[in-house]
Chains A and B, each alone.
Chain A
Amino acid sequence: MIRFENISWRSPSFTIEGVNLDVPTGCYGILMGPTGCGKTTLAEILCGLRSPSTGRVFCGGIEISGLPPGRRGIGYVPQDGALFPTMSVQENLAFALRLQGLPKSERAKAVAPLAGQLGIAHLLQRMPEHLSGGERQRVALGRALAARPAALVLDEPLSALDETTRDALILLLQRLQKDLRLTVLHITHHKHEAASLAQRLFRFENGRLSESPLPQ
């Protein structure tokens, strides 16, 4: 479960006022809103990369407001994937396991099934600069999943992709969510993405958030 409770944030360019949001466990939540309205700020507040002016955040029923980003159990996939440019695909995927102190040989074994599931097993030795947009997003998704997070935050992960690649990744996200029973908060401004993936739909405008009926 992901929960925002009365979250507020002020910056010179926009204001977020008393945001409340609930994404139940195993549910795919979509957050829509115009560019620059503060969607990414909300994602960063949940991940612990920004502190809100007021309010609390919860994940899996536990308050995580005071925890450092690495102890919140949130997997984060930013818009551009933000892969580690000096590490191979395999090293990117195994980064969380490396931090956990797993030996190199075991890390390689551990990420192999995940790479297969994401369709990137043939890319493991490549560097990020030699990947296409869709491949980069698959790797970023795999890197977040390798840490076995309680919830996933995807910040416009498909916005820079062409239609065919986007459709393929939508299918992948649907499959992964079903297989792994993931709790996801997916930020987008694409109606097609929202219609294909949303189990709960939230709209964020003028610093206020409301739940909308699912598109037919």
Chain B
Amino acid sequence: MKFPGVSKFWLLLALTTGAYALFLLAMLAAAATYSSPSDLLKALHSREIQHSIQLSLLTCSITAALSLLIAVPAGFLLARSHFPGKLWLEAVLDIPIVLPPMVIGLCLLIFFQTAAGRLIEKAVPLTYTVSGVVLAQLVIGAAFAIRTMRGTFDHISARPENVAMTLGASRARAVWLVTLPSARRGMFAAASVAWARSLGEFGPILVFAGATRMKTEVLPTTVWLELSVGNLEAAVAVSLLMVAFAMLVLVAVRKAGERV
């Protein structure tokens, strides 16, 4: 079969991408056969699952905002400055990306048993609390957001910022007035990556914040709780709900990002 005007090169790229996308869709479709619209409605009417949805949306949004607060300065520092030990700092900031999520939860749990951790807990209780859910999500979400922001600042020329400084702005004001407005799409992308990562986070939340129904239960916890009692239909229904949420948010954020 020949496609006029399409070279073999592009055809190969399209085939590879198409095959991968098809596999993902097939996987979701197979999971969907284990559920039905009535299972989905039943799940949506469950008080526990409603709480879990609300908590997931709330914690993911807080995590996305907090991730951005860390990622913007960290990304700018890594993109614009050279200092001894930068390579090591980059490696440290990437630890949450390479470490198994469960290990991150364990490290959090152990840290908050130390003297420093206990001192923090006195001010803000974190272990087995909703704040703990946010912290567990933040450790991983922020690492991805930092990577995105670093890439964004790498692609923004420092020249306009330098010109702003010659016109009377301090470095901080030049960044605020000139560089950050240019980085708004990257900031949108960083927040959405952190949000999406947080929605799927399970391991560190389970270990550090627990899986208490109506308290620290988020959507991935619900899937695990329903599976552990053999309620496969509800687990699949919640999983599909998560897919729908993630797709909706990612598409909405991308659409909004194009307009920003």
Contact = CB atoms under 8 A, between A and B. Distances in A.
B231 interface: no
A70 B170 CA distance: 8
B246 interface: no
Nearest to B180: A86
Interface stretch (A17-25, A76-84, A176-184, A204-212): A76-84
A80 B157 CA distance: 11
A103 interface: no
Contacts of A75: 166
A126 to B, nearest CB: 17
Interface string B167-189: 11110010001100110100000
B15 to A, nearest CB: 36
B30 to A, nearest CB: 46
A96 B168 contact: yes
11 contacts: A47-B166, A69-B165, A75-B166, A78-B163, A82-B160, A84-B163, A84-B178, A96-B168, A99-B173, A144-B163, A147-B168
A116 interface: no
- State which size class the interface on A falls in: 20 to 34
A100 interface: yes
Contacts, number: 66
B160 A70 contact: no
B167 A78 contact: no
Given A85-B182, A86-B182, A99-B173, A80 B167 contact: no
B167 A70 contact: yes
B168 A100 contact: yes
Contact of B169 (A47, A70, A143): A70
Contacts of A83: 160
Contacts of A74: 166
A3 interface: no
Interface in A59-117: 68-72, 74-76, 78, 80, 82-86, 95-96, 99-100
Contacts of B173: 99
Nearest to A146: B167
Contacts of B166: 47-49, 69-70, 72, 74-76, 144
Interface of B: 157, 159-160, 162-170, 173, 177-178, 181-182, 184
A114 to B, nearest CB: 14
A65 to B, nearest CB: 15
B168 A76 contact: no
A69 B158 CA distance: 14
Contacts of B170: 68, 70
A86 B181 CA distance: 7
Nearest to A99: B168
A49 B168 contact: no
Given A82-B160, A86-B181, A86-B182, 7 more contacts: A49-B165, A70-B166, A78-B163, A80-B157, A86-B178, A99-B169, A144-B163
B19 to A, nearest CB: 38
Contact of A80 (B159, B182, B184): B159
Contacts of A71: 168
B168 A82 contact: no
Contact of A68 (B157, B163, B165, B177): B165
Interface in A3-34: none
Nearest to B184: A86
A144 to B, nearest CB: 8
B229 to A, nearest CB: 53
Contact of B168 (A70, A78, A140): A70
Interface string A30-56: 000000000000001001110000000
A181 B169 CA distance: 26
Contacts of B160: 82-85
A84 B160 CA distance: 6
A47 B163 CA distance: 9
Contacts of B159: 78, 80, 82
A95 B167 contact: yes
Contacts of A76: 162-163, 166
Contacts of B165: 48-49, 68-70
In this complex, the member of B167, B170, B177, B182 whose beta carbon has the largest number of chain A beta carbons within 10 angstroms is B167
B75 to A, nearest CB: 18
Contact of B163 (A48, A82, A86): A82
Please provide the 8 A-B residue pairs with the shortest distance between their CB atoms, ordered closest to farther: A82-B159, A70-B168, A86-B181, A69-B165, A96-B167, A99-B168, A76-B166, A82-B160
